[in-house]
Amino acid sequence: MPEDIIDLIRESVIQGRVTKDDEGLDEDMVGQPGMSELIEEALISGVDAQDIINQGLTAAMKIVGKRFEAEEYYIPDMLASAEAVGVAMEILEPELTRSGVKPKGKIIIATVKGDLHDIGKNIVSILLRGAGYIVKDLGNDIETKDIVKAVKKEKPEFLGLSALLTSTMVNMEDTIKALTESGLRDKVKIVIGGAPVSEEYAESIGADGYGADGFQAVAVVEALNSGTTGNK
């Protein structure tokens, strides 16, 4: 029974379905239980939350990642899967807290001042939630002082900054300087990304990591979290 439902949870991640009304990647999935229904059912049946996470969600996301690398899955597929994981984690959170399991970490994310588009940042948010992080999205066109204020208040383990234009990229450097001036720089790992950003730029302004795309961004955060030094 528990294995059956964990199979279904895995399939729900792979299909990227949150509720029973969602379409999956395969046709004719509508009507079958989605992630919300399955997790509720699993908890009622007494399945261990950590098992759901390890054998269900994490295992499934690995399959999704492989399909993405093989170019069978596109970003919208990946996002749907990550969203399903995010929903599962939300439902599981009280259970995890109850059993003393610590969340993986908190992340503040923002697109810097001057930039209006936020597609890349939104994707990273969804993927990080899918990876089990608590994500606080400040939005786009965010003033440096507001970013500093948020870091001070929320005390996140990570800060993600995004810029789309060469002309706004400089605001990343400003933000890091402002954090240093406020004495907060050492309390948070900073990961940056966006079209004009490069590995070299990240190093030059003293960021802790750089993600060329959303998936790399997640990988970098995971690496920094486990103590290795990102993609350097």
Partner 1 sequence: MIRKGLAGGSYKPLTPEAISKINETALRIIEEIGCEVNSDIALASMEKAGAIVNKKQRRVRLSPQKALELISKAPSEITLCGQDEKHDIHLGGNRVYTGTGGTALYIYEPHTDQRRQATLDDLKRIARLVDNLDNIHLFMLPTYPTELPLEQVDVNRFFAGLDNTTKHIMGGVYTHDGVQQVIRMAKIVAGSAEALRQRPLISMIACSISPFIIDGEYGDVMVAIAKSGVPLVCPAEPLCGATSPVTLAGNLVVQTVDSLMGVMLAQAVNPGTPVIFGSVATSTDLRDLKYIAGSVEMGLLNAAGAQMAQFYKLPFYATGGMTDSKALDAQSGYESSITGLLCALAGANFIHDAAGLMEFALTACYEKYVIDNEILGMVMRAVEGIRVDDETLAFDIIKEVGPGGNFVTAKHTRRFMRQEHYQPSLSDRNSREVWEARGKKTTWEMASEKVRTILDSHTGGLPDTVRSRILSEIKGIVD
Does 79 interact with partner 1 (rule: CB under 8 A)? Answer: yes
Does 74 interact with partner 1 (rule: CB under 8 A)? Answer: yes
Does 4 interact with partner 1 (rule: CB under 8 A)? Answer: no
In the complex, the smallest distance separating the C-beta of residue 56 from partner 1, rounded to whole angstroms, is 22
Does 107 interact with partner 1 (rule: CB under 8 A)? Answer: no
Q: What character string, x for contact with partner 1 (CB under 8 A) and - otherwise, covers 24-63?
A: -x--------------------------------------
The only residue of 8, 38, 61, 80 in contact with partner 1, by rule CB under 8 A: 80
First to last CA, the chain: 44
Phi/psi of residue 182, each to 5°? -85, 0
Does 196 interact with partner 1 (rule: CB under 8 A)? Answer: no
Does 193 interact with partner 1 (rule: CB under 8 A)? Answer: no
**Residue 28, phi-psi category: left (phi > 0), alpha (psi -120 to 50), beta (remainder):** left
In the complex, the smallest distance separating the C-beta of residue 173 from partner 1, rounded to whole angstroms, is 18
> Which residues does residue 106 pair with via DSSP β-bridges, in sequence order?
134
The only residue of 76, 103, 139, 206 in contact with partner 1, by rule CB under 8 A: 76
| 159 touches 128 (CB < 8 A) | no
Does 22 interact with partner 1 (rule: CB under 8 A)? Answer: yes
The number of beta carbons lying within 10 Å of the beta carbon of residue 81 is 30
Residues that bind partner 1 (CB under 8 A): 16, 22-23, 25, 68, 71, 74-77, 79-80, 83, 116-120, 122-123, 126, 213
